[in-house]
A = this chain, B = another copy of it.
């Protein structure tokens, strides 16, 4: 299906090229693993999982992850509303940390600005503070760089915001997908909307015929409000699940969306079979505007589910109960079968 590549490439991001870059990065950077071969810092997992993992001593591992908000920053600029993208930055980082079973313990921010704009920074920090609260971790520092010749944006308000997170996990409690087996259930955690991925495509598609301040009846809000909605932070319910039920794998549905489930499979024969759910209105709107295929949609967007936990079918009921108690309406979104790949109904994504 070359169309999948085509749609995003036309919007300015060639996903095939990006994946090539990521593979090349992983190979090159793996050479640095020999810099630490014993004691603290010894790498415990290959590059390309949701988070890096290194030996910490005392039976524990340190998880590290960095992530950014992507071109959602441009939506914030267009709306002049900067107080929530900090939540997205934290979410993108901590939701990946919990995917390896780690509890986030500290965060840093990295902020690059087109101009020294104190009010912009203050608003961005509001979101970081809220996000850090939801993640249960302190922001212990960060870097703010003013680079007018490197950043651009709307009306001089250009910025890029990323977050770095550290987490800890007992080495015998690391979740890496290696125990996933046919028959496992896939539990889906509802997303709050687009989250922080696919914005280059979503902006191009949606803003061709709509304005950000346009009220969209199907969304019951303006388009801008909808697509600036901050990314859900799943730390609390996931940590609760990890303590109470057996969990075989966790996937944060971000860039590359469901195609990335394969990183949990490694080289083993594992087939993730997703039961297509009714996607929230914003995804239907994008799909209709751009006439995208099921494969394109599920390879780019979260389609209403921001995180998947893969667990024994026997644990599903209890897991759902635990999530509900945490205020999260998680529910089954598929199962693991024989074969290899990621499928939505009969469509193979990856």
Query: Contact residues of A with B, CB < 8 Å?
Result: 12-14, 17-18, 20-22, 24-25, 28-29, 31-36, 40-41, 43, 45, 47-49, 51-54, 56-58, 60, 62, 64-68, 70-71, 73-74, 103-110, 112, 116, 118, 121-122, 125-126, 128-129, 132-133, 135-153, 158, 160, 162, 164, 166, 168, 200
Contacts and interface: CB of A to CB of B under 8 A. Distances in A.
Contact of A74 (B47, B150, B200): B150
Nearest to A18: B116
A83 to B, nearest CB: 12
Contact of A66 (B14, B24, B35, B110): B110
- State the majority secondary structure of interface residues on A: mixed
Closest 6 CB pairs of A and B: A52-B140, A41-B105, A52-B141, A17-B116, A164-B164, A32-B132
Contacts of A62: 62, 105-106, 166
A153 to B, nearest CB: 6
Given A43-B140, A66-B141, A125 B52 contact: no
A36 B133 CA distance: 10
Given A54-B140, A140-B47, A118 B35 contact: no
Nearest to A26: B141
Nearest to A55: B105
A149 B152 contact: yes
Contacts of A140: 29, 33, 43, 45, 47, 52-54, 64
A81 to B, nearest CB: 17
A112 B162 CA distance: 10
A24 to B, nearest CB: 6
A100 B247 CA distance: 38
B137 A35 contact: yes
Contact of A147 (B35, B58, B70, B146): B70
B32 A129 contact: yes
Given A52-B106, A143-B67, A150-B71, A137 B36 contact: yes
Nearest to A16: B116
A164 B108 contact: yes
B64 A166 contact: yes
Contact of A108 (B52, B125, B136): B52
A194 to B, nearest CB: 16
Contacts of A122: 24, 28
A4 to B, nearest CB: 16
A20 B110 CA distance: 17
A265 to B, nearest CB: 19
B149 A66 contact: no
Residue from A56, A140, A147 whose CB has the most chain B CB atoms within 10 Å:
A140
A135 B32 CA distance: 10
A171 B151 CA distance: 39
Nearest to A90: B32
Nearest to A19: B116
A32 B138 contact: yes
